[in-house]
Structure 1
Amino acid sequence: MQRPAPEEFALKETTPNIAGSGKYMTGDKLTSTYDLVEQMQYLYVRVVKAKELPPKDITGSCDPYVEVKLGNYKGVTRHFDKKPNPEWDHVFAFSQDRIQASSVEIVVKDKNPVLDDFIGKVSLELYDVPKRVPPDSPLAPQWYRLEDKKEGKLKHGEIMLAVWQGTQADECFSDAWHSDAATVGREGVSKIRGKVYLSPKLWYVRVNVIECQDLIPSDKNKPLEVCVKVVLGGQWSKTKFSSVKTVNPSWNEDLVFVAAEPFEEALMLIVEDGGNKDEVLGKCLIPLSSVHPRWDNKAVQSKWHNLEKHVVVDGEKKEVKFASRIHLRVCREGGYHVLDEYTNYSSDLRPAAKQIIRKPSIGILELGIISAKGLLPMKTRDGRGTTDAFCVAKYGDKWVRTRTIIDNFSPSWNEQYTWEVYDPCTVITIGAFNNGFLHKPSNDSTIGKVRIRLSTLETERVYTHSYPLIELHPSGVKKMGELELAVRFSCTSYINMLHKYIQPILPKMHYVHPLSMGQTARLRYYATQIVSMRLARAEPPLGKEVVDYMLDVRAQFYSARKSKANFFRIVNVVSGFVGLITWLDMICQWKNPVTTLLIHVLFVILILSPELILPTIFLYLFFVGIWRYRRKPRHPPHMDVRLSHADAVSPDELDEEFDTFPTSKGTNVVRMRYDRLRSIGGRIQTMAGDLATQGERFQSLLSWRDPRASALFVTFCLIAAIVLHVIPFKVVALLTMFYVLRHPKFRTKVPSIPANFFRRLPSGADAML
């Protein structure tokens, strides 16, 4: 059995002050009750615009801006040059936990190089401010006459305002200036706001290079060594050298790439003569927008494309529009699932093509990111340690980012997000980060992350836990703090959800046209790079280090620690069989005579009535499953330092794990051998991990880690026991033999129902660090 993790790294159940109830689906419309987080009260001030502001400059104009003052907090809008009728439409949010004033003051000033001039002000008492609760319509702004410093009305000058009390459920919350970000300049406010991001839609681009015709080499007397190089953005791949050494070479070879919508790069094909210093024999440029999309198994028509070539005529470089031709079969394949290919904790299993996504969602996942506690200092500012924390959650193609809480080791976000669920056997990842783009810009740094498999959650139940944020550093494993979350998985169709367990996990094209392990690893790397570059172009940008951390880019790298962890996972799985052998040995040794006599009686009964063997086995499994129900896990899984073997790793192993790839430890020969060893070790590590995963899935059949899967299996055992008791054993054996030995015409490449069910079972891979 796996030893429990130290108390420091244990999961803790919490009792936050949340409602935790409400409706989740009304017809086809998704409604959010915002009940998985604690309510935070805010005073909102919306500064819309002003008109007829009196001039203050010598030129007879003004450069107006607005200050919103509430006690010790002050928010400032941008200023306009020489504009008496400015429009700001800026929202300020003041946390009512920190309000120590009885009124809010809105001051309009004129921007000057030396000292800003006072134009006018508006003062509002807080007890007169109305409350607003969504889905009520937004409060309509009103015009207020500006007052002078002695609270007398000005002859000219009005400002349009809206002031109300609300919570973080308000639509203005994410775009508002918050009082806890007072130390951040107005230019840096955009770097701390919460946002929702969407991953780009990814397609495979398959290029089948068939042949070339009438190539024009520079040396016609020399045999050709022709290959085709295909380039798509930062990706490139080459065919093998053609076995036909003439001007009409042929290959019939497939090259696969990843592309994202909208398609910004074109597909470039370069025909090279490797025997003549990679002489370019022709080029061809194909826009991806013109490439035929495919999402089924229908064949794609091949086409001939003209090759262009640059030649030198009388010392001048000229372009020949038609040098020769190349025969290709190119298509964009949307029938695959791209980003999380063959990972054990995928967050999405749907293909890219909308044409084959017809089934509705089976449920809704709601996540409340409440707070964090005990975060460690991640950087220094003014000679002291500080942390500017934010969280990122990723599920499917939707990424969410909370606002950044400035200089706080126990930040409270209390933000709630919702996803539609199409497959329960998926995983949501939540990561905590330190914002590195404030004050002295640098990269965001990682604090820790949590993975939660949806199938381990009971439907309609609210899980509130404090998850340890665990990071592995060159100095060892370290707890970076705790992250408090509230999670609820609600089901809209229980029948459809159970039906998912017997369907293939991946789209059909994964089985009809499978990709090799090498292709899958390479394409996933490029897919991660594409997603990282696209999200880095958003505002605020989601940094590459954040995307790489959330997508586990380094998961396939060799690590002695992971290899040992997977080995002990296998040992834990095999220990059950060892225990069975030990028990049989005890029976043979008559250490418990009563048990041995009962085994003798059972053995005689089964020998005399062999038709009872299978019903007895299934009935035994049924009762074991029912017995273990009372000990089913009550909490979702979390990062386990013991399972990851992170608490017993040596400094040398840590140095190896955090080494660069390729390594920088020694000479070129040592580097080459060391990287080769790590590459081989990484494959062995993955294989050992897959083996451990299969064994753990067997264990989860009756562990109730996935209550729906265990319920299905226990029900199947009961039905099988009854059926096998009624039908003679010889008939069952005969039908089984005929089914196993059936003709290939009656087979399909799609996995069987038991295989689909087994692949969907949870394993310890979710808790690997």
Structure 2
Amino acid sequence: MTSLQTVSKTLSPQWREQFDLHLYEETGGVLEITVWDKDTGRRDDFIGRCQLDLSTLSKEKTHHLELPLEESRGVLVLLVTLTASAAVSIADLSLTPLEDPEERREILKRYGVRKSLSNLRDVGIVQVKVLRAEGLMVADVTGKSDPFCVLELNNDRLQTHTIYKNLNPEWNKVFTFNVKDVHSVLEVSVFDEDRDRSADFLGKVAIPLLNVRNGVQRAYLLKNKELTAPTKGVIYLEMEVIYNTIKAALKTVVPAEQKYVEEEPKVSKQLLQQNFNRVKRCIMVLFSYGTYINSCFEWESSQRSITAFILFVVVVWNFELYMLPLGLVLLLVWNYFFSSGRETAETSMEAMFEWEDDEEDKEEKDSEHKGFMDKLYAIQDVFISVQTALDEVASFGERLKNTFNWTVPFLSWLAIAALCLATLLLYLIPLRYLVLAWGVNKFTKKLRDPYMIENNELLDFLSRVPSDVQMMQYRELRADPGQSPNKRRRAYPS
């Protein structure tokens, strides 16, 4: 009998625990679950019971089930995965499906162009050969490990057998998954089997299916659980993906399959700082583009400003609506042939991970010399930066809302006057003339008045609208006339 921990004083408990149950044919494949109300002072009270027929569930797939409790109100939510024995779930290299010519032709025919509109959920197939691993981490006191390999594709899960007392195991097994979404990521994890406890993590790799090079044996360096830093060991895999392009394209515009089994997020200063830097980097890219465009208006370079002005006039004067998607197409084509965006992205990712590793190494070296207050101040700096950024974003949205809520009637009337004027101008004057007038004004403003301070009228207007926090700060408190001044001070200590 296996029991969960008790969740006190709630009608919607969340256990979030995992059990490995070994079922045999004589059990009949029926799993019975009973829910009790734990009472420390007397006998536990029966709440409800439910049964699950495991023979109706498909193997090697995580199922999200909601089972109503018998003789009681309530529903029990389960995540159930049936994993068969190694002889059933995987095959040897000699039984590789795609290396059989007849079976390969059948598979290619099934995912050919003529079958594009039949069974849209069956996008393709992926075959994975798990060959061997080398130089794995030591997990046992004997200086060895008992490694086995787990492959996960969304909610499908397969597992190899365990090779005992070996740091260089050879599995030589073949896995086959049905592909429902070609944008899925195959996760290959290596664990150390421990009969007394849960398996120890040794390493992991994540491989997007679209990055697979068919029929090529590759060595993948194992990473940590977060996939952000390397760990000890190399795993050798050979993969092949066959899919229907039209089905894959149609699947791209529908919601992706939700993964049921995921680890709970943990609080981490490094992760918080990393996410903040990611947001900051995106903002800085937009800021750099804005600075470059603004330099054209400031006439910092006469050649650049004249070229931008002529290009602006030509584009606006000849603009048609179809040019907007066409311009995006040209941008994509230009980046495909001439841009180094992919190299820049890889460099930025490497820099981010190097930063994280440097931070971890630095913290390990300084952990002995760093006091508790120093660590607290470091975390406080990160939280202050995030807090300030969130405050600015929230204040902007609240000011927009308060403009339309007539929080400050004068500003709302002013917005009505400006919007009515804009409506009248857009009705009487074609849009290209208005954009042209705006652009000519922006380009010539610095020439007309070199000492003019640049501003944004919309942001200046919104800065006058109070946010919700400011509204609460500005709100007057009503005093009870029957209270004395001393009581008022005690009632409103702030």
Q: Greater share of helix residues, 1 or 2?
A: 2
TM-score, normalised to structure 2's length? Answer: 0.49
TM-score, normalised to structure 1's length? Answer: 0.33
Which one scores higher on RCO, CA 8 angstroms, separation ≥ 6?
Answer: 1
Q: Greater share of strand residues, 1 or 2?
A: 1
